[in-house]
Amino acid sequence: MKKDKLAPGGMIVLLSLLCTCVFVQTVSGTAPQRQAEEKLWRLLSMPDYVALLRHAVAPGVGDPPQFSLDDCRTQRNLSESGRLQAKEIGERFRSRGIDRARVYTSQWCRCRQTAALLGLGEVRELELLNSFFRDYGRADEQTAGLRTWLLEMEYRGPLILVTHQVNITALTGVHPSSGEMVVVRREKDGEIVVVGTLASQ
C-alpha cells in the first residue's frame, strides 16, 4: 500500500503549529509563577513584610582560615557576576516602584558589598545578621535575637536584611541560593512566617 506523503508546505505548517503549541504551554505554565512573584513584590511595600536577602555570588564556602572581619582581602568577596547580580536585584526593586528602602547588612564584606550595590539608600550594619557558619553554638541565641529585633522594628518603609544562608535557614527553614530573597511576614503572636521566595534572575 502506498503511504501518503506530506507536502513540503504542509510540513512547514505542521511544525509551526507544534512550535506554537509548545510556546503556549510554556507561557501558560509560567503565568501562575509570575503572578505569585508579583504578589510578593507588592507585599514588600506593605507593613510587616521583610526581605531576607542572601548575599550575591561570592565564590567559595564559609570563610577562609585567615578570615579577619576588618580586612576584606582575607574574606570571600563578590565576583564580577556577583556584583552584576546585586545591581540587577536593586533594579528589580526599582522597576516595581521601590527606589528607597531600609537596608541592614551583616558586617561580612560580601554582604556589605551586596547591600551597597542594591543602590536603595543608606546601608546600616547589624551584628545580628553576621554569619555563625564557623560557630554554630551561637545559632540559637543569635536567631532568637534577630527574631526579637524584627518583631520590634517599627515600619518605616520596605525593609531588606542582607545576610548569609545559615542565618536565613536558621530563622525560616529555607535554604536560599546566592542572591535569593525569602519574603517573611511578622505575626502579632511573635512568629516569623515565610510567604515565598524570589530567586535572582
Question: Where along the chain do its domains lie?
Answer: 36-60+75-198
- Specify the range with the lowest mean pLDDT, choosing from 64-68, 116-120, 183-187: 64-68
Average pLDDT, the chain: 87
Q: What is the pLDDT of residue 38?
A: 93
Contact partners, residue 157, CB within 8 Å, separation at least 6: 100, 101, 102
Cα angle 197-200-201, degrees, rounded to a multiple of 5:
125
- Specify the range with the lowest mean pLDDT, choosing from 11-20, 99-108, 175-184: 11-20
Q: What is the pLDDT of residue 172?
A: 97
Q: What is the pLDDT of residue 21?
A: 43
Return the CATH fold of 36-60+75-198: Rossmann fold (3.40.50)
Helix axis angle for 165-172 and 139-152, nearest 10°, is 70
Residue of 114, 108, 110, 107 whose CA lies nearest to 160:
114
126-154 per-position pLDDT tens digit: 999 999 988 878 899 999 999 999 999 98
